[in-house]
Amino acid sequence: MDKGFIMDKEKMRKLIPDFARKIAPIYKMLDWRWKTLEKGKTLVPDVLDIVETLNMLLDDLDEATSRSTGGLSMSHNKTDGTFIMDFTVKELVCLDE
């Protein structure tokens, strides 16, 4: 594993809590629920849930250039070495014709 990549991941990890604090209120406002490990249970993620998920996505970048779940994504551009943390709200709409 590239030593610079590992160091950059650790720098990125330090930015995660602040990013999580910024977006947690949006999940609450939208009542956006994540499925839990308990069957049939959901929760609106709090800052800690978001931090843990972003750290998991960052850890998974060892094997892939991007990972995402629950509106969160983490990616790494191997060409220029940049990391991107992203929060996206999308709605899937099926239109009957």
Answer yes or no: is pLDDT of 87 > 90.
yes
Domain ranges of the chain: 3-87
Q: Is 41 helix (H, G, I), strand (E, B) or coil?
A: coil
Q: What confidence score (pLDDT) does residue 97 get?
A: 62
Is residue 67 a contact partner of residue 74, using CB atoms and an 8 Å limit?
A: yes
State pTM to two decimals.
Answer: 0.84
Structure tokens at 37: 């490990």
Q: Is 45 exposed, middle or buried (0-12, 13-18, 19+ CB in 10 A)?
A: buried
Cβ of 54: how many Cβ atoms within 10 Å?
Answer: 25
2 confidence band (pLDDT: 50, 70, 90): low
